[in-house]
Amino acid sequence: MNEHEIVPKKRSKFRISYILIILLLTGVGVFAYHRLSLKSKFRSRIEAISAAGYPVTCAELDQWYKIPPNVENAAYTITDAFSYYRLWDKEKSKSLPVVGQAKLPARTEPLPEEMKALIAQYVADNNEAIELLHAGAAIEHCRYSIDLSAGFATLMPDLSEIRSGLYLLKLEAVLHVEHGDSKSAIRSVKSCFGIARSLAKEPITISQLVRSACQNRAATTIEYCINRIKFTDEQLVELIEYIQNSEHNTDMSCAFVGERCFGIRFFIVMEEYMKIYELPLHKRQDAAKAVEARFQSTSQAHILLHVIMPALSRIAIIDTRNIAQLLTARVGLAIERYRLAAGKLPDDLTDLVPAYLDAVPKDPFDGNELRYKRLEVGFVVYSIGEDLSDDGGKERPTGKKKKGETWDVTFIVER
């Protein structure tokens, strides 16, 4: 091999190395530009969130969750109630409904005397706690003593106790109904709604789910009571007003404000879910599924995103179901008002307009009017629920769900 052959080979190797270096530098440049561009966009979005008045850090979130100055704080009274709560041991409480393993009888069946006696004893043992719960539930503003600046490490010890407080109030309502005391039963129900309201502004997902569960518990307690005792028109109006107020306290978006601060790198997801709550109720379920599908294509490297996405999607459905429960309860009470005045059930929900309803509420799942059906005894008002299948007002079964089984969100009165 002569020197003339060696020189071209050296030049060829040099050109290849040169090209590789250029490609590498170009790749680095593109990557750097992309990262800087993303960083700039991220900063712009954060600035936009701040400009809209929302917190972007956990420390800011802790300051954002507040009540007006110099007002009474319901949290102090409600948490004080928990210190008086006397929980029975597991063996003794298992024969109790709601807090134990026993089930309340069906709406048309009488309450067994033994169960009634147990409930009366349990309520009496917790009378001090119950009275404080009533007092706290009547206070408008509430801010529980939690440190949101701790982010994911935030402790929320009050949530489990709030659930126990709701159980107490429901048992008290059951007992009042058995004694024919409609006024006291209504007080118990109103306090259930009041305890739910105490969580309305707490910007954490689990808190809003507990709030939603409290409202649902209050609505089903009304259903239990109205099947066993007659209320006056004035009492029905009072209950309707409380339900309507609760409908205004169902804004799940504040939960995403908090979650966005806890994991700001996923703030785009939270913003997408917050936008869902700007849509009409019947469009939220499909919108939530669309957001979930869009982000499922994200790299699996973003493991936290893929963990929280199904939960976020489910939250929108749970919240919509709760709204449906409140709406069916409100319409059911309007029907009872009509029956008191006319001496019969309405033929159609439009018969309630405008004397008892401004308009027939829309089903939050499909945007059509809520359904109503007269039964052999009584009636059912219902929403078709998340499966979007009209099951004719079928009540959710109390046992384990069978595969493929569907039902509706119902409010049933059988008398």
Domain endpoint, select from 230, 262, 294: 262
pLDDT for the residue 116 = 96
3-class SS at 177? helix
Give CA separation, 26 vs 17, 39, 326, in Å.
14, 20, 60
Does the structure show a pLDDT above 90 at 57?
no
Q: Residue 81 domain-assigned? A: yes
What mean pLDDT is reported for the chain?
86
Q: Residue 5 domain-assigned? A: no
pLDDT for the residue 58 = 84
- Quick one: which of 407, 395, 359, 405 has its CA closest to 223? 395
Q: How many domains does the structure of the chain reveal? A: 2
Cα(359)–Cα(369) distance, integer angstroms: 9
What backbone torsions phi and psi does residue 373 show, to the nearest 5 degrees? -145, 130
Give CA separation, 225 vs 97, 170, 193, 413, in Å.
15, 10, 15, 10
- Quick one: which of 157, 258, 168 has its CA closest to 208? 258
| 258 and 288 assigned to the same domain | no
Cα(198)–Cα(63) distance, integer angstroms: 17
| 236 and 113 assigned to the same domain | yes
Q: Residue 410 domain-assigned? A: yes
The mean pLDDT of 83-92, rounded to a whole number, is 91
| 320 and 375 assigned to the same domain | yes
| 176 and 321 assigned to the same domain | no
Rg (CA), the chain: 28
Domain endpoint, select from 246, 262, 278: 262
Beta bridge partners of 21: none
Cα(157)–Cα(146) distance, integer angstroms: 9
| 230 and 273 assigned to the same domain | no
Q: Residue 193 domain-assigned? A: yes
Question: Residues 198, 136: contact at Cβ < 8 Å?
Answer: yes
| 218 and 357 assigned to the same domain | no
Q: Residue 13 domain-assigned? A: no
Q: Residue 12 domain-assigned? A: no
Token pair of 153 as six digits: 């490490």
pLDDT for the residue 302 = 42
215-259 residue pLDDT tens:
999 999 999 999 999 999 999 999 999 999 999 877 788 888 888
Write the DSSP string, 102-138.
B-PPPTTSPPPHHHHHHHHHHHHHTHHHHHHHHHHHT
103-140 residue pLDDT tens:
999 988 999 999 999 999 999 999 999 999 999 999 99
> Which residues, 6 or more positions from 359, have their beta carbon under 8 angstroms from its beta carbon?
353
| 256 and 278 assigned to the same domain | no
| 142 and 166 assigned to the same domain | yes
| 290 and 404 assigned to the same domain | yes
Q: What percent of the chain has pLDDT over 90?
A: 61
Confidence at 34, pLDDT banded by 50, 70, 90: very low
CA 26 to chain centre: 50
Write down the pTM of the prediction.
0.82
DSSP-H helix ranges across 147-232: 158-178, 182-197, 205-226
Domain endpoint, select from 240, 262, 284: 262
Token pair of 172 as six digits: 């008290």
335-353 residue pLDDT tens:
999 999 999 999 999 999 9
| 99 and 243 assigned to the same domain | yes
The conformational region for residue 180 under phi > 0 = left, psi -120 to 50 = alpha, else beta, is left
Token pair of 298 as six digits: 């994200």
What is the edge-to-edge ordering of all strands in the sheet holding 371-374? Answer: 371-374, 379-383, 409-413
Q: Residue 2 domain-assigned? A: no
The mean pLDDT of 193-216, rounded to a whole number, is 93
What residue numbers bound the domain in which 292 lies?
Answer: 266-415
Does the structure show a pLDDT above 90 at 378?
yes
pLDDT for the residue 310 = 45
| 145 and 292 assigned to the same domain | no
Does the structure show a pLDDT above 50 at 305?
no
167-191 residue pLDDT tens:
999 999 999 999 999 999 999 999 9
| 237 and 197 assigned to the same domain | yes
Peptide bond preceding 354 in cis form (omega within 30 of 0)? yes
Q: Residue 16 domain-assigned? A: no
